[in-house]
């Protein structure tokens, strides 16, 4: 059998191929009440529903479990998901699932934390090995799942992470004080069930933070290194995040248009405004379909240490029992400065993003400032903290944050401009205060 490696019909120096994947989608008001039907289509008889205590208190996971029982499915609820999960939290969920398994399928009900925990549980109950075997290099061993996982139905309850579309999960490694992830296409949910009615009661602060995550997903993907600007990959080396490409661009553009239309409304009058909530849910889903294939870059890479090294910050609208920087805040706080830095690599894309996010904004004399200006204007309007200074970091903390960003090489490699320690340090220093 030929390895195929010695016969290459195209120029081996340049990438000519991009990939794009997304789960099937069921979208709309009431979709969450059809999961019994959907799970039955996968032939599942024993299903574990994973959620966090806050969502469990709203009764949503129990409602989903009851619905599955009507289709003859034996469903059990695990409500021990930890918000911004750690390796220890993942392991607790995995131990629970392994002890009470085997399962034919999983349903994740919640934000990114619940969906990511369910991805890890699905991986570690379907395949052998331990968590660190699969965590991204250099922190873990980045092993590849050996087989198809069980069907996972992801039901987001916030409009933000896009975790229902993506093939990765994020976690904090406690002993190293670092946030990292597992990424492989097999982790992608088998079905995304997106029901805007589940987001009606989200507090404004959560709506704002999660919405900034959508903004960053869309703009980072849209400005990510173009897929053909990477060296050619062999099929076995081809990564989930291939850089911006014609298909991910479409989704990101549509997401930005929905943000422009409905983000401020969803924050300020979301409790009554079903249309604004629906637009934000759709924006999150679309941006997930974009960044889940293109990848994100500096703002998300900085978000890892900003969230991972939190000191005393306790944001309004979130559980107050421990300090945390919500994901959407952590990734957006350095975004204005990061996009000043990445501007020269693709000026027209930065300007186009600014125009889609805020079509009415006048052109500034300096084009570099257009996108940062639009982002700062939005962040001020919806109550996002003013820079990393407002979540507890001063200039003297910046040298400690830099290594945490540099560890995110998988993300930094998607940056359209080469970026090293000095550049990251400058971006963080200039993000202590954004306005
Ligand atoms: Zn994100």
Q: What is the DSSP string of 240-302?
A: S---B-HHHHHHHHHHHHHHHHHHHHHHHHTTT-HHHHHHHHHHHHHHHHHHHHH---HHHHH
Residue closest to 214 by CA, chosen among 206, 96, 14, 377? 206
Residue closest to 294 by CA, chosen among 249, 356, 242? 242
For position 197, what pLDDT does the model report? 95
pLDDT tops 70 at residue 293:
yes
pLDDT-derived band at 235, boundaries 50, 70, 90: confident
Torsion angles phi and psi, residue 5, rounded to 5? -75, -25
For position 4, what pLDDT does the model report? 46
> From the CA of 114, how far away is ligand 1's center (Å)?
14
What are the sequence ranges of the domains in the chain?
31-194, 204-429
391 and 385 Cβ atoms separated by less than 8 Å? yes
pLDDT tops 90 at residue 177:
no
Alpha-carbon gap, residue 383 to 208, rounded angstroms: 7
> From the CA of 190, how far away is ligand 1's center (Å)?
20
> From the CA of 424, how far away is ligand 1's center (Å)?
19
> From the CA of 394, how far away is ligand 1's center (Å)?
23
> From the CA of 15, how far away is ligand 1's center (Å)?
26
Q: Give the dihedral of Cα atoms 89, 139, 290, 268; nearest 10 deg.
A: 50
- Domain covering 31-194: architecture: 3-Layer(aba) Sandwich (3.40)
The mean pLDDT of the chain is 93
Question: 204-429 maps to which CATH number?
Answer: 1.20.1090.10
DSSP code for 316 = T
- Residue ranges with CB less than 5 Å from ion ligand 1: 213
> From the CA of 34, how far away is ligand 1's center (Å)?
27
For position 409, what pLDDT does the model report? 87
* DSSP letters spanning 89-102: HHHHHHHHHHHH--
Q: How many residues does the chain have?
A: 435
302 and 331 Cβ atoms separated by less than 8 Å? yes
> From the CA of 216, how far away is ligand 1's center (Å)?
7
Torsion angles phi and psi, residue 163, rounded to 5? -60, -25
């Amino acid at each position: 059998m030929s390895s195929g490696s010695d016969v290459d019909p195209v120029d081996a120096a340049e990438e000519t191929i991009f990939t794009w994947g997304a789960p099937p989608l069921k979208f709309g008001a009431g979709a969450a009440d059809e999961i019994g039907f959907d799970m039955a289509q996968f032939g599942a008889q024993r299903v574990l529903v994973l959620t966090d205590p806050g969502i469990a208190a709203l009764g949503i996971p129990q409602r989903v479990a009851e619905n599955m029982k009507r289709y003859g499915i034996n469903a059990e609820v695990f409500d021990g998901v930890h918000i911004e999960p750690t390796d220890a939290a993942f392991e607790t969920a995995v131990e629970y699932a392994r002890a009470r398994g085997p399962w034919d399928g999983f349903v994740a009900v919640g934000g990114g934390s619940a969906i990511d925990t369910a991805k890890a549980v699905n991986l570690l109950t379907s395949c052998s090995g331990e968590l660190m075997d699969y965590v991204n290099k250099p922190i873990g061993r980045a092993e590849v799942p050996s087989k198809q996982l069980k069907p996972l139905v992801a039901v987001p309850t916030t409009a933000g992470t896009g975790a229902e579309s993506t093939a990765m999960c994020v976690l904090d490694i406690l002993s190293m004080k670092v946030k990292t992830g597992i990424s492989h296409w097999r982790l992608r949910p088998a079905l995304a069930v997106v029901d805007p009615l589940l987001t009606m009661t989200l507090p404004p602060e959560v709506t704002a933070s999660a919405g900034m995550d959508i903004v960053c997903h869309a703009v980072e993907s849209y400005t990510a290194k173009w897929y053909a600007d990477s060296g050619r990959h062999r099929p076995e080396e081809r990564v989930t995040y291939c850089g911006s490409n014609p298909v991910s661009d479409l989704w990101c553009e549509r997401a930005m248009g929905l943000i422009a239309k409905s983000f401020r409304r969803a924050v300020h009058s979301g409790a009554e405004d079903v249309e604004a909530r629906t637009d934000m849910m759709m924006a999150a889903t679309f941006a997930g379909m974009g960044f889940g294939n293109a990848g994100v870059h500096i703002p998300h890479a900085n978000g890892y240490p900003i969230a991972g090294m939190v000191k005393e910050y306790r944001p309004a609208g979130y559980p107050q029992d421990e300090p945390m920087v919500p994901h959407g805040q952590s990734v957006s706080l350095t975004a204005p400065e990061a996009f000043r830095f990445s501007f020269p690599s693709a000026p027209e894309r930065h300007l186009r993003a600014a125009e889609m996010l805020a079509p009415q904004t006048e052109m500034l004399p300096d084009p570099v400032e257009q996108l940062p200006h639009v982002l700062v204007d939005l962040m001020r309007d919806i109550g996002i903290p003013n820079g990393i200074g407002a979540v507890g970091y001063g200039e003297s903390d910046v040298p400690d944050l830099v290594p945490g960003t540099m560890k995110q090489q998988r993300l930094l490699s998607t940056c359209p401009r080469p970026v090293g320690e000095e550049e990251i340090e400058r971006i963080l220093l200039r993000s202590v205060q954004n306005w």
